[in-house]
Structures are given as structure tokens and as C-alpha cells.
Amino acid sequence: MSADFVVRPSSIQGQGLFARRNFNKGERLLAYAGITSTVRPEQAAVSSPIYVLEIRPGLWLDGSSHANISRHANHSCAPNAELVFIDETTGGWLIAQENIPADAEITFDYGFNLAESLFQPCRCGQPDCIGYIIAAPRRASLRRHLRFSRPRD
């Protein structure tokens, strides 16, 4: 485990990834490591944590290895980091989107599509959170969908 991070209980969900020192905007935090595959790895159960990421259509990264502490970075609708994929061999890196103070939880936007988001409640607590883990560009569409699908008086 990196001396710059600690995994501990999170107010967002389960275990979270926390900074032990200050990080500057644009700084690489941690690699998101795992095994890549053209077949999406199955998760153990619907209620189990999701560590599988789609790098590009048809290419998946299974980050469930205990050696991959970045798997503990939770989703937030106002993230302080971004997951950037360099290439298929290097994998992804969490990169600071803003200055991150020591003791802050490291979060990123999981980028779920509409179908995935409806089964993944968001607990980030941010003012603009709509209650589901969904990619930032798709939040307005989901907000409209939820508004029009509510029962009418």
C-alpha cells in the first residue's frame, strides 16, 4: 500500500480511499491496476462492490485485486479526481482534478450509463446529486426522466 493513501470507512459507501498528504491539481495519484479482458468479468453478487471498468467498448479492466488499493475510491457527483486511461498496458491513473488536502476522500465519476445507473444508488451527499451513480454528461437526461416518471397528483 502506498504511504500517501489509507483505506478506511467512508461516509459515502463502505471503504474509501483517503489522502495522507496534500496533492496538487493534475498530479497522478494512483494507478488503477488489474487484468484486462475482452470479456466482461462477472461480479460475485449484485450487492458486491464493483471494481470492473470498461476501458473502451469491448475491453474491460478487472480491478478487484487486493493489490489495487485505488479500487476503494468511491464515486462522487462532485469528484476531486478523474480516472484517465493511458493505454491498454499501462492501464488507468487517478489524477487530481483539483488540489486535494490531506485526509480528504479520493473520489471520481464512475461514468455509468443510464441502464447501469438505475441499479446503483449514489450516496455521495453532494448538493447536485440525483441519487444514482451516472456519468456527469447524462445527469440532466436522468433528472428529466425521473421528473416525468413520477406519479402525478
End-to-end CA distance of the chain: 54
Q: Highest-confidence range of 40-44, 49-53, 56-60, 107-111, by mean pLDDT?
A: 107-111
pLDDT digits 0-9 by tens, 70-89:
999 999 999 999 999 876 66
Residue 137 confidence (pLDDT): 84
Residue 150 confidence (pLDDT): 57
The residue whose grid cell reads 487486493 is 66
Out of 14-18, 22-26, 90-94, 126-130, pick the least confident.
Answer: 90-94
Residue 43 predicted with pLDDT over 70: no
CATH fold of 5-110 reads Beta-clip-like (2.170.270)
Query: Where do the domains of the chain lie?
Result: 5-110
Residue 44 predicted with pLDDT over 60: no
Spatial CA neighbour of 107 closest among 22, 43, 12, 23: 12
Residue 123 confidence (pLDDT): 92
Residue 49 predicted with pLDDT over 90: no
DSSP notation for the chain:
--TTEEEEE-SSSSEEEEESS-B-TT-EEEEE--EEESSPPPPS-TTS---EEEEETTEEEE---TT-GGGGPEE-SS-SEEEEEEETTTEEEEEESS-B-TTPEEEE-----HHHHTT-B-----TT--SB---GGGHHHHHHHHHHHSPP-
Rounded Cα gap, residues 62 and 34, in angstroms: 5
pLDDT digits 0-9 by tens, 87-141:
666 668 999 999 999 999 999 998 888 887 888 899 999 998 989 888 888 888 8
